[in-house]
A and B are shown apart, each in its own frame.
Chain A
């Protein structure tokens, strides 16, 4: 199996349903079609990644919650599960921590969750595959194209 589609920490998956691999083009479409999208932004991004994510926020006028600065990630999950947000994007969050937190939305909500981080995240509904640094920057740039 192509290890790009195995959880970055291989034991992080939750067994039955793992995230479908998605591409920047599909993520763009998802954002455009969503009625109320939101980005949950962690602290673990490099500077050039941060810059591109900021452009993404501006480009799609995304509502953003920074974790943990503005809200605890678990409190965010609880809030999203009971909200009318229909698409939640995640990036920059400690890998295994998001893997565990995302299972709440996966089991107990209808929010479409998408990891746009550089590692494959099995417990969201969609995820980018495991990417090298350069590939990841490319993916982010593609999100901004067109």
Chain B
């Protein structure tokens, strides 16, 4: 470890018993610890540790092509006591802010929340792991991953070697978040484009913080290091053995869950207690041990808790229902909160001994334990006792009771109107009155158990519990397989797919990420994955989306993880891991620039992002994006030059980056010419109304100016084929993306030529061999 400081000082007068000095000028260098210079692995680029305005020039390039498109979800500003201010239709607030800047400000705040969440999470992990393993614990991702931290290399200009190095990165992240968030204060930033540039910066910091967190947990917990054969893990309600004591972990932080697994292993109780999880903790504990099971994504949270299967619920941080305490206590289970970000009003009993805590929990049923090491023993021992107590406890109404409850329904219809997706709850009730559960069966498949229907029901009917009961009774086969999160992509994989991706022979990389706010149930994410796997795209996934993909089986009862390999190659289905692991998806794009194209990474953000924007045919799809973390992730991904499609609820993020779909300008680095090219990728972040539109948009957004004619023809083939499959017609904007006749796929030549003639298409005279927007 090195800690160096240069000291310069002027001394006017110094008197000590040994020295008398006047007007001395002292200059010296002080080093703490063993001197170890950062080796000269690459020349430093122009933007190491960028500050808020450092990459503004790059952001403005992007924003010029993809200007922000605002849909104000609210036309008031309610942030300060000058207001409320009405900003509608050109009015300004008391501070002078207009509605565009206000929307951009809210997006910045959302991105800061998301970024702070990932940074706080990573800080917690790194801090904890340094306490446990020491600052010098090495970061070693194995021989097959030399570019260990592509985002860190590019943004920070360093190669992290130890857990201690990760701390320095987090120092930088926290400093940037403070500046960014302060810009959102009343009377600070006033221009919407600058707010957007700051949101980009927040997104980039989010990416960096996630890389820190995931690398820390991979090395410390020995999670798979780019292992394409990571084990298949059990997933679904049906895989939990209810005859055993059940511990359910919810949230995003692996630390308490890992102690539970460790305690079970040390005491040879692995087969005696079920440890399962919801949301990213689930994915991460299954990266620690293949014995851990995954209940499902966020959307299954309320349903599973209501089902009463869990005896102890351990919550850490993020994506946990804020009424979890109330819900857990209703089932007679015990709740343990383990994180300072979610204390739930509970008494902190961390200072007590483990046995004392067990006693406290059995008396009080819930507590805050901030010493996660104690959670291991406490959760297990309490679960064993509570499981016996709760053996015959019923938490859901039985089917007869569901009918009786349904009979109380007055069919006012407010459940349908309060459902974010207007699902047919009322109709399900009406059918259930007759003992027909078809409506509830359908609802169970789609519902993400937010509970808004219950909140508004004037008869206080437990609609989520009724849905859960019917689901439990009618779906017997809720057992699936998911490949455990494998972490980063190996350098050798990048070497073999770099050229085909850059030239377009692999038609694209589709990253299915994000939350469970799906417009029409989980199955759609799996169907998107299936469509593109069959077409030999590379499909990459993480978090709740990775779980949703697992919750679909083919006619032979196999999930997509069982049917497709876990390699980063055409037709591969790569589960990187939890939300933190999204960094490996952008990391793969960065590594293509570095490993395949030899673009230097060190402090060289804009050049790397420019390479990705123009050459790497990747698109992110967040079909159920819901949280502020998703906003930060998408915005961060956008700054790297990767377009993102969000589902219809994503419109509520209130800002998209849409081009006007006309020709773009780029410079050809080979000839120095400024050329007008086809509009690819057409948008930077855009919504799709339904799954058909999303599927058809993916191949379009995978097109890049650098595609060679064969590659572009391949992409156009999929675009046309999918449009015909889902809309029964040719894509209505195809002429924009055919540069010359060489771009037309051979199999569709006649059809496409006839279409182009009808549209009055003319080929581009020239298109660049080496496109860039940095000029």
Contact = CB atoms under 8 A, between A and B. Distances in A.
Given A70-B732, A94-B648, 11 more contacts: A9-B418, A10-B417, A14-B75, A17-B88, A68-B693, A72-B686, A72-B689, A73-B689, A78-B660, A97-B651, A100-B651
B71 A104 contact: yes
Given A78-B658, A94-B648, A100-B652, A14 B689 contact: no
Interface string B631-663: 000000000000000001101101010101100
Contacts of B76: 15-16
A86 to B, nearest CB: 17
Nearest to A97: B648
A100 B417 contact: no
A72 B651 contact: no
A68 B99 contact: no
Interface string A68-96: 11111111011000100000000001111
A99 to B, nearest CB: 9
A23 interface: no
Interface in A29-79: 42-43, 67-75, 77-78
B72 A74 contact: no
A107 B98 CA distance: 11
B687 A97 contact: yes
A96 B652 CA distance: 9
Interface in B420-436: 420-422
B727 interface: yes
B74 interface: yes
A69 B648 CA distance: 15
Contacts of A9: 417-420, 422
A21 interface: no
13 contacts: A9-B417, A10-B417, A14-B73, A17-B75, A42-B689, A72-B687, A74-B686, A78-B69, A96-B421, A96-B651, A100-B73, A107-B88, A107-B89
Contacts of B519: 94
Given A107-B88, A107-B99, A101 B75 contact: no
A8 interface: yes
Contacts, number: 101
B687 A16 contact: no
Interface string B438-452: 000000000000000
Interface band, chain A: 20 to 34
A107 B651 contact: no
B651 A15 contact: no
B658 A74 contact: yes
B688 interface: yes
Interface string B69-84: 1111111100000000
A8 B422 contact: yes
A107 B655 CA distance: 13
Nearest to A100: B651
Contacts of A96: 420-422, 648-649, 651-652
Contacts of A75: 658, 661, 686
Contacts of A67: 689
B91 to A, nearest CB: 9
A103 interface: yes
B698 to A, nearest CB: 13
Given A94-B648, A107-B89, A100 B689 contact: no
A16 B86 contact: yes
Contacts of A74: 69, 71, 651, 656, 658, 686-687
Interface string A1-29: 00000001110001111000000000000
Given A17-B88, A107-B99, A100 B71 contact: yes
A107 B686 contact: no
Nearest to A42: B689
B729 A107 contact: no
Contact of B72 (A14, A72, A82): A14
Interface string B34-70: 0000000000000000000000000000000000011
A68 B691 CA distance: 10
A14 B660 CA distance: 26
A92 B303 CA distance: 32
A10 B689 contact: no
A110 to B, nearest CB: 10
B710 interface: no
Contacts of A107: 70, 72, 75, 88-89, 99
A16 B419 CA distance: 23
B732 A71 contact: yes
B417 A93 contact: no
